[in-house]
Amino acid sequence: MITLEFVNVLMGIMMVGIAIVNVRDTTNAKRYNNAAFWGIYGVTFLAGSYLPNFVNGLLVLAMVSIVAIGKLGGAPPEQTTRAERELSAAKWGNRLFIPALTIPAVALLGTFTLKGLHLNGVALVDPKQVTLISLGLATVVALVVGVVMLRPPASAPIVEARRLMDAVSWAAVLPQMLAALGAMFALAGVGPIVAGILARWIPLDTTFVVVATYTIGMALFTSIMGNAFAAFPVMTAAIGLPLIVHRFGGNVVIMAAVGMLSGFCGTLLTPMAANFNIVPAALLELPDQHAVIKVQVPTALMLLVANTAIMYLFAFR
């Protein structure tokens, strides 16, 4: 059976490859830092499932120390000149889009078809991880299509991957680090403590105040945790169910659906939701790492008001 380990091995190979390209790049003064950072990250993918948790923890702390003490070097310049790329763009035309669009096409196809495939009575692909495995598979197919079509030098894919990876730099690891922080918060019981504080300090005796506390609380708590999924159970157990539904007789479906969407407004506002807000800023080479959040703030706030109105107007009819 193909499991998530398949995706881990692909990631590990890519990270180790990026580390090797870095070591060989004598133009980068920080090349050993970058190589160690991506190399250790590669090890967590290749060997993480087999190493003791404590060793994995030390590996992550080593990566963090490299960033904190040694700093990472930036991305190298592009390997081709603008004139070369324009010439190539004219030569290939819209066919250049084919490999790029292969990724979503194969990922979707895989999601729909791989689930049902069996070999000798065993599922070919872990049914719980079909989407991620399909995405991993799709990137491999797209790369093969790209290489066959463009016939680049053999080193080009990994050299280019290194250029983009070093442009994103440490931000590439931040979403995963935040997921780990979320797990530590859960271990320490942070959620119930925050909900308890909210419930104790706000006078929750009118419908509107309760609804607004819930929607704004969802957004606020999502901003802190970086994830509406972490905020939902805590806020709904503290305010949504006991007050909106049980005391004031609100509709549970509307409370839950709109409550979750209020949390999504919070996701638009916070650097803690790094993969949506910080990573694209790095990926698009924006000098201000909060540039994407700044653009999203007006929409998020207006939508939070809209959500509060929707819940207040429809949940109690």
Partner 1 sequence: MLPLIGILIVVVGFALRFNPLVVVAVAAIATGIAAGHATIDVISAFGKAFIDSRSVPVVWLALPVIGLLERSGLKERARIVISRIHVATTGRLLLAYLALRQITASLGLVSLGGHPQMVRPLVAPMAEAAAETRWGELPERTRYRVRAHAAAADNIGLFFGEDIFIAIGSILLIRGFLDQNGIHVEPQDLAVWAIPTAVCAFVIHGTRLLLLDRSLKAEIDDERAP
Applying the rule CB under 8 A, the residues between 202 and 241 that interact with partner 1 are 224, 228-229, 232-233, 236-237, 241
CA distance 4 to 126: 8
Place of tokens 């790492």: 289
Binding residues for partner 1 restricted to 66-95, rule: CB under 8 A: 67-68, 78-80, 82, 84-90, 92-94
Q: Does 267 bind partner 1 (CB under 8 A)?
A: yes
> From residue 36 to residue 65, what is the string marking binding to partner 1 with x (rule CB under 8 A)?
--------xx--xx--xxxxxxxxxx--x-
Q: Does 1 bind partner 1 (CB under 8 A)?
A: no
| Closest separation in Å from C-beta 82 to partner 1 | 8
User: With 0-12 CB in 10 A as exposed, 13-18 as middle and 19+ as buried, what is 37?
Assistant: buried
> CB of 274 within 8 A of CB of 169?
no
Tell me, by CB under 8 A, how many residues bind partner 1. 138
> CB of 231 within 8 A of CB of 182?
no
| Closest separation in Å from C-beta 60 to partner 1 | 5
Place of tokens 């490859």: 17
> Which range touches partner 1 (CB under 8 A), out of 21-29, 100-108, 119-127, 200-208?
100-108
CA distance 291 to 229: 24
CA distance 145 to 96: 11
Binding residues for partner 1 restricted to 123-182, rule: CB under 8 A: 129, 131-132, 135-136, 139-140, 142-143, 145-147, 150, 152, 156-161, 163-165, 170-182
SS3 62: helix
Which of 25, 124, 303, 312 lies at the binding interface for partner 1 (CB under 8 A)?
303
| Closest separation in Å from C-beta 222 to partner 1 | 11
CA distance 175 to 246: 36
Q: Does 264 bind partner 1 (CB under 8 A)?
A: yes
User: With 0-12 CB in 10 A as exposed, 13-18 as middle and 19+ as buried, what is 132?
Assistant: middle
C-beta closer to partner 1: residue 119 or 154 = 154
Tokens of 94: 């819209």
Which of 248, 276, 312, 316 lies at the binding interface for partner 1 (CB under 8 A)?
276
